[in-house]
Structures are given as structure tokens and as C-alpha cells.
Amino acid sequence: MATRNPEHDVPLERTVPGPRAEASAPTAFTPPPLACDAHCHVFGPADRFPFSPNRSYTPPDAGVDDFFRLQARLGLSRAVLVQASCHGADNSAMVDAIRRGDGRFAGVAMIDRSFTDADLDELHDHQVRGIRFNFVAHLGGAPDLDVFWELVHRVARRGWHIVLHLDANDFAAHSSVLDAMPVPYVIDHMARVPAAAGVDQEPFQRLLERITADERCWVKISCAERLTDGKVSPFDDVVPFARALIDIAPDRLLWGTDWPHPNLGEMPDEGELLDLLAAFAPDEAVRNRILVDNPQVLYTFS
């Protein structure tokens, strides 16, 4: 059934599915205290937090109460809530979720030129520590670079970092952007490289070169469900990619569920995704660094 968005007074039909009703509990390991899901989202609820009229997809509601249940099921304590494109630059749902997290959540916002210094100060007070840009074609493609650099330099003064959502085939084209970055930057989802092309594919080799040579570069070893061939579990073909990154830079990697998995047809089991981290990082100390220590560096949880 369609729901109604009171702000725009238009019917909202879901164009993408929602997550599974309940994740399985992880079985491969027990997450350590303060373990963090460093890439997840909240959607709505739309009757309180309307979606952007310029969105490219309309998800079902997946709000912070649903996320609390997921965290309890997985045994995770902290989270980094990343603003999703369906809400545009209205970060209200994310900020509300961070507030309700009572110090356990941090955020990555999406902003535009309309944001004042006072707006950015308020986001900082709500534990926002970065901004995100989509370069992915199906989400609108690369931003206007003049605006991009203006916003990057504004948040750089606050000690924030930049999160970049790139397609694998475009990674090389944006190397000059990465070279000029004045702050740490995070590449989402292993640059969305297709696992079927193997670890020797050029985009992934460029990613390995980048994280080796540039200490500002961080990478999220997330979204195996998007990278794997066939798009269904068990995602074994993604393991060599994560291990190659771990071998090079275990202190600059983050992991996340990507809940509630926007724009994905087959919904993964988040318990399986967490168990997969044990295959990525069999060594407990390395795994704990990825889950606890690394997020603390970027997000300074209180």
C-alpha cells in the first residue's frame, strides 16, 4: 500500500525492497565490546522525515527503532549512520537517530551550499564527522566539482573527512581528485569492484596502490552482497579482495552492513555479513581493530 508524504502531498510507492524482517545471530565469532557497524542508514519514517523529491528511488521505512533491533541481534554497540541519497541534504532522520543513540552513533552527512557555518556546527555537535558524495552513475553521477571543492574545504576546517561512493570503472578517472584531497577520505565498498573480474582487475589494483601510497586513504570492506558474482551468499569470491586490503592497511579499514541495503534486489542476512568478517580477518586482533579501533579514529565516539 502507498503511504503519504505530508510535506509533498504525493503518494509514495516503494521502488526498492526493504531489509529482511530479522537477521540471524552471528555464529563465527562474538563481536567485541564497542564493535561498530561503520556503514548503515536510516530511512524515514516518511511521515516524520520526508524523502527528497529529487530521489532516484523510494525505499520502505527503515527507521532507528528497526536499527536498534538489528544491533541487538548482531551484538554490535556502535554505528556510523551515513546519509542516503533518498533523503538528499535533509539530514534530519540521521540526526534524530544519532540523538537517540545516546553517544553510541556518529554520522556522515550530505550537504550543499545552503548550509551555513551554524548548520555545520550543529551537525558537529551531533557527532557528524564527515560528508559523503555520490559519484555513482545510477545515483546521479559525479557532483559539480566547483561545489565539491567548496564543501570539502569548508568541512576540512572542522577536521571532518570525506566519504566517496565511486563506481569501479570510474576510479582511475577521479585519481586527481583523490590526489588533491586535504583531509582523510574513505572509499565506499571497496570501490564497488566486481568480484567476478578477480583481484588482478585494474580498478582493484589501483585501489591497492592508492591505499598503499596515500595514508589519507581509507576503505570500507563492505557490501560483499553487491560485489559478489550472482549477488547471493555465501560471498566467498569477495574474501580475497578484503584480505588483500587487510594485508596492506589493516589500520585504515572499516566494516559495515549497509543496512537497509538501498537499491538492492536480493536482501542479504546481516548475520551472514558479520560472519563473513571472520573470513576476511581470521586474526581476532585485526578483526577487533577493524570493528573498534579504526572507527574510533575517524568518529571520536565519546
- The residues annotated as belonging to the active site are 258
- SS3 of residue 109 by DSSP: strand
* Cβ atoms 269, 132 nearer than 8 A: no
E-state strands within the chain: 3-5, 10-12, 36-40, 78-82, 105-109, 128-134, 161-165, 185-187, 217-220, 253-254
Angstrom CA distances, 252 to 60, 126, 210, 242, stand at 33, 24, 12, 12
Residue environment code for 243-254, b if the CB has 16+ CB neighbours within 10 A, otherwise e: bbbbeebbebbb
Is residue 57 within 8 Å of residue 263, measured between CB atoms? yes
Q: Quote the CA–CA distance of 292 and 245 in Å, as a whole number.
A: 17
